[in-house]
Chains A and B, each alone.
Chain A
Amino acid sequence: MTSGSPGLDQPLFLPRERLGALISELQSRGYIVVGPVIRQAAIVYDELYTVDDLPRGWTDLQEAGTYRLERRADEQYFGYVVGPHSWKQFLFPPVATVATAVATEAGWNVTAADGRDAPQFAFFGMRACELAAVAVQDRVFIQKDYADPIYKARRDKAFFVAVNCTQAAPTCFCASMNTGPRCTVGFDLALTEIDDGFVVEIGGERGRNVIVALGLAAATNDALRDAEAARRRAADGQTRSMPTEGLRDLLVGNPNHPRWTEVAERCLSCTNCTQVCPTCFCSSVREVTDLDVRQVERRREWDSCFNFDFSYMNGGVVRNSVRSRYRQWLTHKLATWHDQFGESGCVGCGRCITWCPVEIDLTAEVAAIRGDVS
């Protein structure tokens, strides 16, 4: 974080009716502002044109396998948690071209994606677990030797407006994963919604430059106190948890636990959990060509370790059962991710629990495995 004039880094107060001004300010700086909107009976992420696109006055009711929207008693702009979308769809698009090849007289002319045409996004309304999820994917896609050009270009340009959660869904367990609910790092600006507006924290130079343009006053002590109370509601409201202690060794050490067979009887291997997970990064590359095979696109698409042919090689597949695929997913997410990236692959957002059509809950699966061996 850059230090500037100390006065400015005091939290500011953004009156509720001026939220739209922040969106306009970002748009005027060339950002495509994306944020929560209602589509198809859920709150998803899509382009915001005006402040009226936000799902003001709505909330979400979530449990394993169900999600419902409901009117709130108040007119909060951010009175819900996370939905089926995540920001990964903008940084690591579900479908992207990693290279193109054109047949010429002199042979193939292959051009790799360089990210030069990357859109410049402002993410409006990122939650703490989502900031953490982006940090997790940063470590996947931006490594010492290689960086994915598509991810990196989008990531470098993106502006993050975070929002502190003021409530928790029964599926949330970020507190036990140590990723939330308070936004502490990784944002440009962070808002906390209170009755008449937002307390705004500034994460760095870039955020400061934007917020200065709005000419806001410092937040009053009352506002700061209300914001703190609102944030505490989110922390206190968490009912689910993931016991993380010894988790890596528990899962790596139990590849033959009977629970894997039991969960495989319920699991559809449908891939939904991996697709909604903000950190899952598996993909495949497919050749898309014209009939003559003279113009070729190498198309990278989201894939999943739950897919039957994901582990295909030598005419067969390695993980030839739902059991082995569920085990791979959970063990990678919660255990071997530590070996690979020095942290868990789970940020506790609860998406995989809500969006599993048959209500499989990873915290329950871990508990079952833990219970039997302790």
Chain B
Amino acid sequence: MTKRPSVAVFKFASCDGCQLTLLDCEDELLALGEKLDIPYFLEATDRREPGPYDVALVEGSITTPHDARRILEVRQQTKFLVTIGACATAGGIQALRNWADHADVLNAVYASPQYIASLATSTAIADHVPVDFELRGCPIDKRQLLEVVRALIAGRRPKTPSHSVCLDCKRRGTVCVVVARGVPCLGPVTQSGCGAICPAYDRGCYGCFGPSVQPNLISLTTQFQRQGTARPDLVRGLRLFNAYAPEFRRECDRLDPATEEPR
């Protein structure tokens, strides 16, 4: 039998929720341990073995100069780098700071801001190093994570769907909240992943899995405005976990009177 692939798990600025998804694979965990060598995974073990690694699962965004250097090291030691979760793929909820004045934020949060070494922005891993595969979501989806793991074991490229959340709604028979209730929903412009949970509970999609391929945000937000949603509410709706994903960022900036160019 061939050597078990080595998989290291790294954390940057994040809440650990995505790593927990990995630990949450209880049924599969034992088998996973047999199939994979896990030399680095602080959340689960105290192993800290040096690279090189076949695969790195990277959680979290880059928010400090130190992390900006550390991700370069991780990249150097890794053959196949997978970012996991909205923080790593888009900057996360903490990317809201990208719209604020950094000094103001530091002063508001810390008693002695002069000791804090942080960047003015929270950015995606891909803004710093090349990424081989993205697992979206806040948090990531267990089934998609297992697909990545299976692919790694089989030595093939993982395959996750790129369709909209709407398709999942329809496959499970959920009634569309936009059409039947007039509730704004980001599903049509959001990539599949969660299995369309929120609409099944009569709520609009929050866009946890980030923008779908070729999303048409202008058409959707124009429609929601016509149906009575105010612009500031749309901006708030887009400025969540994936606020700094380029397509969402561009649209909330377009809608935000504070950043919009005067006509």
Contact = CB atoms under 8 A, between A and B. Distances in A.
Q: Do A and B come from one complex?
A: yes
B14 to A, nearest CB: 26
B214 A322 contact: yes
Among B35, B154, B214, residue most surrounded by chain A Cβ atoms (within 10 Å)? B214
B179 A65 contact: yes
A271 B164 contact: yes
Interface string A269-311: 1111001100000000000010111000000011110011100
A94 B215 CA distance: 24
A276 B164 CA distance: 15
Interface string A332-368: 0000000000000000000000110111000000000
B18 interface: no
Nearest to A65: B179
Given A268-B219, A289-B150, A291-B31, A40 B171 contact: no
Nearest to A265: B219
Nearest to B36: A291
Question: For the complex, would chain B's binding face be called helix, strand, loop or mixed by DSSP majority?
Answer: helix
B175 A84 contact: yes
Interface stretch (B60-68, B115-123, B182-190, B248-256): B182-190
Contact of B175 (A41, A293, A359): A41
A293 B149 CA distance: 12
B170 A276 contact: yes
A266 interface: yes
B230 interface: no
A357 B175 contact: no
Chain B contact-residue range equals 35 or more
Interface string A60-79: 00000111100000000000
Contact of A268 (B174, B176, B188): B188
Given A291-B28, A308-B213, A357 B164 contact: no
A40 B223 contact: no
Contact of B223 (A65, A94, A271, A301): A65
A337 B150 CA distance: 40
Interface string B194-223: 000000001000000000111110011001
B173 A85 contact: yes
Contacts of B178: 65, 357
Nearest to B176: A355
Contacts of B74: none
A42 B180 contact: yes
A39 interface: yes
Interface in A49-96: 65-68, 83-85, 89, 94-95
Contacts of A271: 163-164, 166-167, 170
Contact of B180 (A67, A304, A322): A67
A266 B219 contact: yes
A359 B176 CA distance: 13
Given A269-B216, A358-B219, A275 B150 contact: no
B131 interface: no
A357 B214 contact: no
B146 interface: yes
A8 interface: no
Contacts of B219: 265-268, 358
B153 interface: yes
B172 interface: yes
A319 to B, nearest CB: 11
A270 B164 contact: yes
Given A66-B179, A308-B214, A291 B166 contact: no
A270 B93 CA distance: 25
A314 to B, nearest CB: 15
Contacts of A66: 179, 182
B250 to A, nearest CB: 16
B119 to A, nearest CB: 33
Among A41, A94, A291, A307, residue most surrounded by chain B Cβ atoms (within 10 Å)? A291
A365 to B, nearest CB: 15
B36 to A, nearest CB: 10
A94 B172 contact: yes
B181 interface: yes
B214 A293 contact: no
Contacts of B171: 94-95, 275, 301-302
Interface in A13-62: 39-42, 44
Given A275-B171, A291-B146, A293-B150, A357 B162 contact: no
B32 interface: yes
Given A40-B180, A41-B181, A291-B35, A358 B170 contact: no
Interface of A: 39-42, 44, 65-68, 83-85, 89, 94-95, 265-272, 275-276, 289, 291-293, 301-304, 307-309, 321-322, 354-355, 357-359
Given A266-B216, A293-B150, 4 more contacts: A41-B181, A84-B176, A275-B167, A321-B214
27 contacts: A40-B174, A40-B175, A40-B180, A40-B202, A42-B180, A44-B175, A66-B182, A67-B180, A84-B175, A84-B179, A94-B171, A94-B173, A266-B219, A268-B188, A268-B189, A268-B216, A270-B164, A271-B167, A275-B167, A291-B28, A302-B167, A302-B170, A304-B163, A308-B212, A308-B213, A321-B214, A357-B223
